[in-house]
Amino acid sequence: MTAPRTFAAIVLISAGLAGPALAQASHDHRSMPGHGMGKTKPDPKDTVSTVEFKAADAAMMKEMDVAYTGDPDVDFRTHMIPHHRGAVAMAKVALTHAKDPETRAMAQTIIDDQEKEIADMEAWLKRHGR
């Protein structure tokens, strides 16, 4: 690819990524009505797995309520760590209750991958005095 084409591709890709990123940045994570996050209250009809998924969701949302520092390297990690912890918690619920082998395999992969990523992000924060 020539330099002008490479530059054009980078600009187009960046423009395509900016819209969703800006929309996400302006989104209030505390309610997340479009994501069903406001539905974590117990319901007598909930199955055991639903109760556990709701608890994982609620814990993740509470932990994600972290102030932004203005440092994108720090902010990325301090917001992704609780997001990953939530994914791990939900994957553990799936491992406990899911019967489908693909679901169980995906859940285990999520646990393995995201626990490593959490450790990597925490180590980076520690190395950078956070």
The predicted structure's pLDDT at residue 31: 46
pLDDT, tens digit (0-9, with 9 covering 90-100), for 33-92? 445 555 767 788 999 999 999 999 999 999 989 999 999 999 999 999 999 999 999 999
Structure tokens, 3: 């330099």
pTM beyond cutoff 0.85: no
- The residue whose two tokens read 């939530």 is 86
Q: Is 100 left (phi over 0), alpha (psi -120 to 50) or beta?
A: beta
Nearest Cα to Cα of residue 59 among 37, 33, 32, 43: 37
Range 122-129, long-range pairs (CB < 8 A, 24+ positions)? 122/77, 122/81, 124/77, 125/74, 125/77, 125/78, 128/73, 128/74
Q: How far apart are CA 64 and CA 82, in angstroms?
A: 6
